[in-house]
Structure formats: structure tokens, C-alpha cells
Amino acid sequence: MINASLKELADALAARRVSAVELTEHCIERIGRLDKGLNAFITVDPGRSLEQARAADARIAAGHAGPLTGIPVAHKDIFVAKGWPSTCGSRMLASFVSPYDAHVVERFNDAGAVVLGKTNMDEFAMGSSSETSWFGPVRNPWNVDRVAGGSSGGSAVAVAARLAPVATGTDTGGSIRQPAALSGVCGLKPTYGTVSRYGMIAFASSLDQGGPFARSAADLAVLLNVMAGFDARDSTSLERAPEDYARELERPLPGASAGKPLGGLRVGVPSEYFSAGLASDVASAVESAIDELKKLGASVIEVHLPNTGLSVPSYYVIAPAEASSNLSRYDGVRYGYRAPEYDDLVDMYCKTRAQGFGAEVKRRILIGTYVLSHGYYDAYYLKAQKIRRLIARDFTDAFRQCDVIAGPVTPTVAFALGAKVSDPVQMYLNDIYTIAANLAGLPAMSIPCGFGSEGLPVGLHLVGDYFTEARLLGIAHQFQKATDWHARVPAGYA
Amino acid sequence: MEWETVIGIETHAQLSTRSKIFSAASTAFGAAPNTQACAVDIALPGVLPVPNRGAVERAIRFGLSVGGAIAARSVFARKNYFYPDLPKGYQISQFEAPIVQGGTIQTVLPDGTEKTVRLTRAHLEEDAGKSLHEDFHGMTGIDLNRAGTPLLEIVSEPDMRSAGEAVAYARTLHALVRWIDICDGNMQEGSFRCDANVSVRPAGSDRLGTRCEIKNLNSFRFLERAIDFEVRRQIEILEDGGRIDQETRLYDPDRDETRSLRSKEEAHDYRYFPDPDLLPLEVKDEWVAAERAALPELPAAKRDRFVCELGLTAYDAATLTGSRETADYFDAVTAALVLREPGGDARAGAKTAANWVMGELAGALNRAELEIDRSPVSAQQLAGLIARIRDNTISGKIAKEVFDALWAGEASGDDAADSIIQAKGLRQITDTGALESIIDGIIAANPAQVAEFRGGREKAFNFFVGQAMKATKGKGNPAAISEILKRKLAG
């Protein structure tokens, strides 16, 4: 059961071979047994989950089931869920119980899915290793001394270790794709504006985008069907005709033929992504995957993204700037953490925020406050916004020559816990391949494509033009029909 | 030395939308603390702002009514600072790209001169909550009902030269926002409040002096007194050889003085940047055109019409256009008069009507604490009364008696004045034959006074007028009485 696809689970639920309650209990049992060593979950609440599971069973019995009815979903703790602690991995919100549901949570609930729990993450999604959480680091099931990637490390690990069939995450600079790659699962960051940010605790509003984690592209498509769609409560949500990503998955490409399902597809490989800094084990796994795409009929061409080198510096101006403002609401006045002792108002603010936020969050608030300050705004923030447009233009130019861009997700496989904690710049460089898609607002995904040194997973990065999620999923699906990297289970979690 | 005062005014007008600028919570005043603050207003984690179309619409209406430019694309920005009643730690406002740019306010000063004040801009923003320092021992209470209330901040150029001009500007602006129905103008409730930027400079200088900003003046009287105090303070400092520090000051009405709140050095760095949660605000031409079409005749246009077509003085026209209700009432009176006096002198009728609306009616409304749209005497009834003055059916004096009866509701219908005149027998005696015989009787009965008058004591004339009025119970036409008396006494 733990390796079943969403389709298989839905069929089993419909045929009453398994109930939603049994499925949920099974996940809860695995979490109880296996998560101590992984720390993927911040909160599980079996009572609440099973209540939802019972409702799902009633719905299935009444014949009103959809593809996700009765399916347990692990939500990144950045999504608020009514009645659940919604901590964002921070001491600041450790005791905050949300009175309302995020749009994403609401959509899953409406579909009859079961909230299995809230997953661990870097504090306020700031990190690339899930080590900055107030609730302790997440560990990688492929090697528990390695990081899971971040910031959505808990969700990636929940899926990788088969604690949950699927999970949700958010991606501001790579926070879905990078942990998906390091933990050996599939993760998709949709086009900015596809998934409503309502109830998704803001890190950097112009970059944040929710997306799904699953074991296969086919499952991602089912999840995206529920997550995507216009929401009037988010002004940046896009009003578009809904797509059925699950159905689009099997639609043949215009140039496809027997044995060549990717016939006619032009895959662009940016030379900038295969330069110094990319570990050879990752490079060779990604190159093999690109060869596989070729075997499936795709043609591979070299493309250029000349401003790639500017993406990390401009991201580390824009994201902290927005974060410094977004996190101002955590002041100890209305909810969340408040320092137990203080002299006056300013002292209350200072102590509350000094004690409530961790080092990485404070670092980014400082950077963000600095770059927005009078006299520095033009030199940093405005310049970074200009670079952002140049980066977006790089992609526009590239997509004149190719249909999809393929490359690595991360420079290395999962690194050791603690290895980069004291060197923020090394940590930031982990996102060198993923950040550009956020700056440009493009859809991008990571799928398992092999293993590097010490048997740690490697991800293949696929970046598409705006609104080409269906095509990205279709390519990944064809790749996964021809390979079995995505079906591998870390030892001890089978 | 002669000093010149320079004043610019920033006004916060609360827009009259039912819900808040970025949330669906109610904006109604006076609810129990924190009962009108939703998840967005208290800035729970994960909430997002959604602009209120009604607030944008009102900003457009304002821009059009002052002849400003409506930006096709304006940008909401975050103004970052920490304060307990500012839930997000930033205020959503507009900074570099406001929705309205330019425009003018034309006002009339008490001496009748016209004054044009240029506007720099008007932009949309949200209000903060309220900190309540009383009632909580050693603590502060926070009420977030007001947080997120839509405001239009209207910024003038430093075009005013005295407290009087500043008050005239503020009054005209106040009348305008009520006129175009974008703000209820309730100053006690804080719906319309002004900050004044005040500086002085040697007369004739074209360089601006260092200014001080006086915050949160919520009455015209406070505005005037705060400016007067501030001007005296600054002049005193300068004449003593001192220097004005740029600072923000508060007016204390109890002590009638301003005092420093914070200096320029203590001013916040607000770290403005475009709000990434909100797309640029796009206003299409069609939207502007629709708002333009829906605008009522504006006070300035009405004022011009009253002066040019009806011959009113600029000051009377300004007074009558002080509120849309008053102007509408006056319009209705003059329109009804024209119908009652086909071919009559509309300008003369309008002058009488203006005097009645600003005089007798305004006084009665004031005493009864009623707004003009609740007046017990309708515009039709008042026109009916004025028509009877003008056709000499009654005298002005008797008219006041008729007005009181109208006010008391002694008759109803548009012709209520006629009914009252009829019922009370107040019709003026203009029949010269009847008057002549009455006057003959008075002259015959008072030979001593006749001799006095003829002996050169002209004042004695008034005695005869009084006797004649008394004899006619006030109904004698004063002009006719005077004419007959002059003729007969000259005899």
C-alpha cells in the first residue's frame, strides 16, 4: 500500500478494499514508528485526522468521492489550517493555532482529503536544509546524517519515507524542488499566481508559490488539479480557464510516435548550469537523464541564460526585503510569542523578536531592512528588480529555441547536517539553479533521476515557459514510464 | 520685520465605503472594540489584502471634481514602521505613483476674494487602529475596528498665506468631499482631519522657511488656532535670532499651544517599497468616463452659476454652496419662484431667496438643530412665501410671521403661505383709498405732531408711520403709507 499511486489508492478506496480510516491509521502508525529519526512532522493529531477520514469514508459510501477523497495529505506548516497549530517552523508561532484554513488546505478538505499533519520546515521557509526550524532539523531518510533539503524538507521526507502518500510545499527560491531532489521525490513549483497564497504564511510575496510533492508526476498532476485555480482573496492569483492536468498527462506530443513519446520536443540545456560548482556525480546523473529524454525522442540543444550568475545576489536582495516587511507583524502584540519580561514597548518588541526568531530569520530581516533603507533602495532593491527582468528575458529568449529547459536542481547531493550552518553564502549557493525560475515566475519541477555518491538521490530540473505545467508533467511522466528512479525507496522505509 | 506665513495642508478624508479598503469587515463607527476587525485587519499569518473597488471609485470621483489627473496605473506601497495599533507593521499607502495628481481647490475668503489652492496629489491608504491609554492601568488597549478603514490623503501645495486662508481651504474641501458623497465629513469621529505644514519667511522672500507639521487637527477652530499659535511661535524664535527646527508638533486645545512630538532626526525611515501582495491599480478610461458622467454639478460650478446667472455676491454664493443640501434647497426655491413669477425678475427673486435661506431659515434650523434636508418648511413653501413678498401681498415683516406659522406646520402643501395669509387675514392693505382715509384720521387726531413735523422735526415722520401701521395692524403697505404721508404732511 505504501507504494501505491493516487490512482491505485482511489480505486482501492472506491472498491472498499481499504477505508480512509485504515489508510490514515496506517500513515499515523508509520509516523509514530519512523518519524522520531526523521523529524518530518511538527504536528500530528490522530483524532482530527481520523475524524476527517471517517467523513471521507461516508462520502465514499455515498458515492460522492473524488480522486483525493480519503487520501492523507501532509501539509507544510506554512499553510494555516483551522484548529491546527500553524507554526511556520518558528518559536514565534509555536503556540499559534489558526482560526482559518489556507486556500490550499480548504481545497484539499473540499476534495475530501485528510490532513495527516503539519510538516517541519526551515523557519519561515528561510533555508535550504530544513535545519533552521525551532523544532529541530529534518533528517534525510537516505542517510539520516544528511540534510533533507529545504525549506519544505519535512514534506519531501514525509513522501520519501512513505509516511504520507503526498504532501504540499512552497517554493520561494527552490524550497520544493531542492528538498525533492535531495530526498528523492517529485516536486512541482507552478507558474507564479497559479496556486493561491491565501493562508500561506508569507516569506517573500512576489516569489512564494505553493506546489505539490508526490512520488510520481502522475500523482503531482492529480494534486495540482486541486491546488491550482483562481482565488479572489489573493490579488496575485491568476484568472485562467481551469486545466485538467491529470488528463493532459497522457496527451501525446504533436511530434510523438511509437517508441518516441517525446518526439519533436526540443530540450534546452543551459551551458551555464554545467560549469564549475556542479559536482561530477550530480552532473553525470543529470546528463544520463538528458540522454534518456533523447532516447524518448527529444532533441537536445544548448541554450544560454547569461544572467544566471546574478540570480542569487538579486534574490538575496528582493526576498529579504519583502521578508523584512512581511515578518513585521510578529511583534508580540496580538498573537504568537511575546517575551515574558520587558521594560516598555520598544523593549517588548526587541526581546520578543530577538527571542522569537532564529538566527537565519534575523539575518534576512537585517539584510532586507538595510536594502530598503533610505539611500540604499535604488542601489539594491531597484537594481535587483531590474536584474530580475533581465533574468526573465533570458528565459523568454531561450524558449524561442526550446520547449523545456533541463539541468540539475542542486550542485551536490544532500550534504551533512550542520556542514553549512555557519556559512550562509555556501548555503545560499545551493539554490543557484532553482532561484531563477522564482525570479521569472516560471513553472519548474524536480524528479528523481539517479543517485550520486554514497547512494544519495539526484534530481532532474525541468523548467517550462509560463503555464506549461501540463507539458512539464507530461515529459516527466514519459520519463518515469521509461525509468524507475522515482519508485526507489530508501532502505528501512519500504 | 514683516513676515509672510506659508501653509500647506494634508487632509485625511475617510472614504464612505461600507467595508474596509482591503478586507470585508465593516467600517461602521462606534462598535465595541475589536468587533469589526477580521483576520486581514488583525494581520493573522497568511492573510492577504484585496482592494475595495468602492474606495478606488471615490478617489476617482475626487480627482475629477478637482480637475486632477487620474493615473491609469497607480501603485500601492508599504510604509514600514512598528506601532501597536498598526497590525502588519506596515501601512498600505501609495507613495511614488498616487491615483490622483494635481488639481485645484477654489475657495472664497470672507471678504469675497477668490483663492485658488493647488493640490499636489491625493492617494489611497488604510487607517491604523486606535491605542487606548485610559481604562487600562499601566497598559494600553488596542482597538482595531478602525484598522483598514479607507482614507484619501489629499495633499495641497504650500499656497495658503494665513490661518484664515487655511480654514477657507479646509472648509471648501470639507464641503466638496461631502458634496460628491465620498466622505461623511464627521470631524468628531475623525472622518476628516487635517495636518498643517507651517513656515514663515521674510515678506517678499521666495525661499521657503523651515516648516513644522502640526498633526491631527480635527476641527476648523483648532486648525485656525494651531496655525496662529505656530506662526507666533516661529516669528518669536526668528526675531530672537533663533532657528526653526523641522519637526512634527501636536496641538493641545486645552492649553491652546503646539508642542514638539518628534524632530526630523527622530523621523522614521519608512522603507517604502511597492506592496508585492497587490498588483498595480489599473484604472481604465471607461471607468473614469463613467465616474465623470455620474458626478453632480460641483460647488464651484454652482457658485459661478449663482453669481453669473442669479447675480448673487461671491460670498453669498459660497455660503449657499457650503453644502450640497443647502445648494439644492436654494436651487429648488429659485426654480419654484421662476414658475410662480413667469416673466418676473429672476435675479431680484434670487437675492430675496438667498437672504431668506441664509437668514430666517438658517437661523430657525440652527435653533432647532436640524439639517436643511429635514427642514419643516419646504423649498416650495418658502418660494410661495417669497412670491407674496414680491407681489406686495405681504410686507417683509408680516412675512416673518407667516414663516413662523409655516415652521409650526399651521398649513400644508406648496401653497401653505397663501393659506396662512388668508386664514390670518395678513394680506397687506395696498388700496390707497382705504389707506388715505386712515391717514387722514391720524393727521386730524394729532395736530401737535403735524405742527412739529412741519416745523422741521423730520423725525416726527416715523411717528405717523408707526400710527398708520398700528391702525392697519401691520398690514398697510409701508411704501404706500410713506408716499401718502409725505404728500399729505407736506400739505
Nearest CB partner across the interface for B269, out of A236, A345, A373: A373
pLDDT grade, residue B428 (50/70/90)? confident
pTM, 2 dp: 0.91
A82 or B432, greater pLDDT: A82
Q: For the ranges A23-32, A444-453, B109-118, B288-297, which has the lowest average pLDDT?
A: B109-118
Residue contact A235–B51, C-beta within 8 A:
yes
Nearest CB partner across the interface for A235, out of B46, B48, B84: B48
Q: In CATH terms, is domain A6-255 a member of 3.90.1300.10?
A: yes
| Number of helices and strands in chain A (H, E) | 16, 13
pLDDT of residue A130: 97
- Give the minimum alpha-carbon distance from A170 to chain B in angstroms, rounded to a whole number: 13
Question: B396-407 and B416-424 helices cross at what angle (nearest 10)?
Answer: 110
pLDDT digits (tens, 9 = 90+) for A442-472: 999 999 999 998 999 999 999 999 999 999 9
Nearest CB partner across the interface for A235, out of B44, B50, B80: B50
Q: What is the DSSP letter of B193?
A: E
- Give the minimum alpha-carbon distance from A98 to chain B in angstroms, rounded to a whole number: 8
Residue contact A328–B269, C-beta within 8 A:
no
**CB B117: neighbour CB atoms within 10 A?**
25
Pick the residue from chain A with its C-alpha nearest to B34: A334
Residues 398-437 of B with CB under 8 A from A: none
- Give the minimum alpha-carbon distance from A329 to chain B in angstroms, rounded to a whole number: 4
Q: Tell me the average pLDDT of chain B.
A: 92
pLDDT of residue B491: 64
Residues 49-68 of B with CB under 8 A from A: 49-51
Residue contact A88–B276, C-beta within 8 A:
no
Q: For the ranges A182-186, B231-235, B362-366, B443-447, which has the lowest average pLDDT?
A: B443-447
pLDDT of residue B431: 74
Pick the residue from chain B with its C-alpha nearest to A201: B46
B24 at interface of A, judged by CB pairs closer than 8 A: no
User: Reduced to 3 states, what is the DSSP secondary structure of residue A64?
Assistant: coil
Pick the residue from chain B with its C-alpha nearest to A233: B50
Cα A467 to chain center, whole Å? 17
B44 at interface of A, judged by CB pairs closer than 8 A: yes
Q: In terms of Cα–Cα distance, which of A222, A221, A162 is closest to A488? A: A162
Q: In terms of Cα–Cα distance, which of B194, B197, B224 is closest to B212? A: B197
Q: Is the pLDDT of residue B488 over 90?
A: no
- Give the minimum alpha-carbon distance from B151 to chain A in angstroms, rounded to a whole number: 20
B369 or A276, greater pLDDT: B369
User: Reduced to 3 states, what is the DSSP secondary structure of residue A332?
Assistant: coil
Nearest CB partner across the interface for A206, out of B142, B272, B276: B276
Q: Is the pLDDT of residue B423 over 80?
A: yes
**B41 Cβ partners below 8 Å, 6+ apart?**
B20, B23, B25, B87, B144, B147, B148
- Give the minimum alpha-carbon distance from B186 to chain A in angstroms, rounded to a whole number: 30
pLDDT of residue A494: 86
pLDDT digits (tens, 9 = 90+) for B461-482: 888 888 888 888 888 888 888 8
Cell numbers representing residue A270 in the block? 543551459
B271 at interface of A, judged by CB pairs closer than 8 A: yes
B279 at interface of A, judged by CB pairs closer than 8 A: yes
d(CA A441, CA A455): 33
- Give the minimum alpha-carbon distance from A440 to chain B in angstroms, rounded to a whole number: 14
HEC sequence for B76-136 = EEEEECCCCCCCCCEEEEECCCCCEECCEEEEECCCCCEEEEEEEEEEEEECCCEEECCCC
Average pLDDT of span B110-121 = 93
Q: In terms of C-beta distances under 8 Å and separation of at least 24 residues, what long-range contacts does B241-247 make, across chains too?
A: B243/B210, B244/B199, B244/B209, B244/B210, B244/B211, B244/B212, B245/B210, B245/B212, B246/B210, B246/B211, B246/B212, B247/B212, B247/B213
Nearest CB partner across the interface for A369, out of B46, B48, B271: B271
Q: Mutate which of B53, B277, B278, B279 to disrupt the A interface (most A C-beta within 10 Å)?
A: B277
User: Reduced to 3 states, what is the DSSP secondary structure of residue B290?
Assistant: helix
Q: In terms of Cα–Cα distance, which of A382, A68, A317 is closest to A214? A: A68
Residues of A with CB under 8 A from a CB of B: 79-80, 86, 88, 93, 96, 98-100, 102, 197-202, 204-206, 232-236, 321-322, 324-325, 327-329, 331, 333-335, 345, 349, 369, 372-374, 377, 381
- Measured between beta carbons, which residues in chain B are less than 8 angstroms from residue A98? 44-46
- Give the minimum alpha-carbon distance from A152 to chain B in angstroms, rounded to a whole number: 17
d(CA B238, CA B243): 6
- Measured between beta carbons, which residues in chain B are less than 8 angstroms from residue A372? 80, 271-273
d(CA A335, CA A413): 39
Decide if the complex's ipTM is over 0.90. Answer: yes
CATH class belonging to B432-490: mainly alpha
Q: In terms of Cα–Cα distance, which of A232, A180, A236 is closest to A204? A: A236
Contact (CB, 8 A) for B150 and B52 = yes
Nearest CB partner across the interface for A329, out of B43, B269, B278: B43
Q: In terms of Cα–Cα distance, which of B146, B83, B91, B102 is closest to B124? A: B91
Strand partners, B3: B202
d(CA A214, CA A6): 9
Residue contact A325–B90, C-beta within 8 A:
yes
- Measured between beta carbons, which residues in chain A are less than 8 angstroms from residue B89? 325, 327-329, 331
pLDDT of residue B326: 95
Residue B17, CA distances (Å) to B30, B57, B73, B86, B245 in order: 16, 10, 22, 21, 39
**A432 Cβ partners below 8 Å, 6+ apart?**
A277, A308, A311, A312, A411
B45 at interface of A, judged by CB pairs closer than 8 A: yes
**A232 Cβ partners below 8 Å, 6+ apart?**
B50
- Measured between beta carbons, which residues in chain B are less than 8 angstroms from residue A334? 42-43, 87, 142
**What is the set of active-site residues of A?**
76, 151, 175
pLDDT of residue A1: 76
Would you give per-residue pLDDT tens digits along chain A (494 residues)? 778 999 999 999 999 999 999 999 999 999 999 999 999 999 999 999 999 999 999 999 999 999 999 999 999 999 999 999 999 999 999 999 999 999 999 999 999 999 999 999 999 999 999 999 999 999 999 999 999 999 999 999 999 999 999 999 999 999 999 999 999 999 999 999 999 999 999 999 999 999 999 999 999 999 999 999 999 999 999 999 999 999 999 899 989 998 999 999 999 999 999 987 899 999 999 999 999 999 999 999 999 999 999 999 999 999 999 999 999 999 999 999 999 999 999 999 999 999 999 999 999 999 999 999 999 999 999 999 999 999 999 999 999 999 999 999 999 999 999 998 888 888 888 899 999 999 999 999 999 999 998 999 999 999 999 999 999 999 999 999 999 999 999 999 98
Please confirm whether the linkage preceding A205 is cis (ω < 30° from 0).
no
Contact (CB, 8 A) for A413 and A149 = no
d(CA A101, CA A12): 29
User: Reduced to 3 states, what is the DSSP secondary structure of residue A77?
Assistant: coil
Domain boundaries along the sequence of chain B? 3-290, 297-424, 432-490
Residue contact B87–A329, C-beta within 8 A:
yes
Q: Is the pLDDT of residue B135 over 80?
A: no
Q: Is the pLDDT of residue B3 over 90?
A: yes
Nearest CB partner across the interface for A373, out of B51, B84, B271: B271
- Measured between beta carbons, which residues in chain B are less than 8 angstroms from residue A93? 45
Nearest CB partner across the interface for B89, out of A201, A235, A329: A329
- Give the minimum alpha-carbon distance from B219 to chain A in angstroms, rounded to a whole number: 31
B149 or B481, greater pLDDT: B149
Q: Is the pLDDT of residue B444 over 90?
A: no
Strand partners, B125: B151
